[in-house]
Amino acid sequence: MNIEQQYERVFNHIDDNGDKKISPAELQKCMALIGGELSLQEAEAAVQLVDSDGDGLLSLEEFVRLVEGGGHEEKMNDLKEAFKLYEMEGQGCITPKSLKRMLSKIGQSKSMDECKLMIQNYDLNGDGVLQFDEFMVMMS
């Protein structure tokens, strides 16, 4: 899955009503789901930053601009390196077991249930593990 497909997957998950646009309210709801706080006014301001057609909503293209901000390539490389630290060898995903292992290495011991809960908070497709696109959402 390339980066454009990953952005589209995240975009479609945020787009609750399927209108191919993300409203400030949908953006706010998404942030709440991943544990962030964003007021409606802040969400509206974020949308305005990249809203090139002035409709008050984010198209996929505008969403990508918002997410990428600046220095996209460097950010992506950093995220990929961080993801590799947490994933199980060759699995291509972060499992509760691999998360527990890495957290233990950095002195943050957690139970398996705590690791499952941490993953569940960002697991957009409900498969019990974090794919790279879900990891990107968590880290943004």
pLDDT per residue over 82-123, tens digit each?
Answer: 888 888 777 889 999 999 998 888 888 999 999 999 999 999
* Res. 74: pLDDT tops 70: no
Query: Is 49 a residue whose pLDDT tops 60?
Result: yes
pLDDT of residue 33: 79
pLDDT of 72 over the 80 cut: no
Residue predicted with more confidence, 31 or 116? 116
User: What pLDDT, on the 0 to 100 scale, is given for residue 119?
Assistant: 94
86 vs 70: CA distance, rounded Å:
25
